Amino acid sequence: MDLLTQSLIYLLAAVISVPLSRRFGLGSILGYLVAGIIIGPFGFAFVRDAEYIMHFAELGVVFLLFIVGLELKPSRLWVMRSMVFGLGATQVIVTAAAIALVAWSLGLSSRDAFIIGPILALSSTAFVLQMLAEKKQLSTIHGRAAF
């Protein structure tokens, strides 16, 4: 399957699943996850090559980082330095340790659990930012703290 066809499949899945998910009050993140499950290799297998999908995933990460960069002003970062470097670092470390412990208790090697913990802890940024943006809470106190 060529790049254009796969791109159309991704876009069509998103255009259908995200509004449905939001209509049911579940948010767009869950809509994207459901779309991926449906079109992926374990659903209807419209998209089979995981390596090929990674290119789109990397593009999504680039867009996420771009959005974070747009939101973050150096002066704002300086004002929030204790929250960012204190609470933020603590949250990432505690979450990474908890996830690693769960992964290890489920039978993964300690090395794999140590890698998976921080990866999943850091990936929460995408979910939290999207949920706060949808609810228009990024400018609130808890929204700034979460950011």
User: Does residue 130 register a pLDDT over 80?
Assistant: no
Query: How high is the pLDDT of residue 119?
Result: 86
Q: Are 13 and 50 in contact (CB under 8 A)?
A: no
Query: How high is the pLDDT of residue 15?
Result: 92
- CA–CA separation, 131 vs 29, rounded Å? 8
Query: How high is the pLDDT of residue 16?
Result: 93
Higher per-residue pLDDT: 142 or 114: 114
CA distances from 38 to 35, 106, 122 (A): 5, 27, 25
Q: Strand, coil or helix: what is 73?
A: coil
What residues contact residue 35 under an 8 Å CB cut-off, 6+ apart?
A: 13, 14, 16, 17, 18
Question: Mean pLDDT of all residues in the chain?
Answer: 82
Query: Which structure tokens are listed for 75?
Result: 């002066």
pTM: 0.59
What does the pLDDT look like over 107-116, one tens digit per residue? 999 999 999 9
User: 101-133 burial string, b = 16+ CB within 10 Å, else e?
Assistant: eebbeeebeeeebeebbbebbeeeebeebbbbe
User: Does residue 61 register a pLDDT over 80?
Assistant: no
Query: Which structure tokens are listed for 95?
Result: 């979450």
User: Residue 108: which H helix or E strand, with range?
Assistant: none
Residue 26, classified by CB atoms within 10 Å of its CB into exposed (0-12), middle (13-18) or buried (19+), is middle
What does the pLDDT look like over 95-109, one tens digit per residue? 999 999 999 999 999
Q: Rounded to a whole number, what is the distance in angstroms from the first to the last CA of the chain?
A: 39
User: Does residue 125 register a pLDDT over 70?
Assistant: no
pLDDT band of residue 71 (cuts 50, 70, 90) is low
pLDDT band of residue 147 (cuts 50, 70, 90) is low
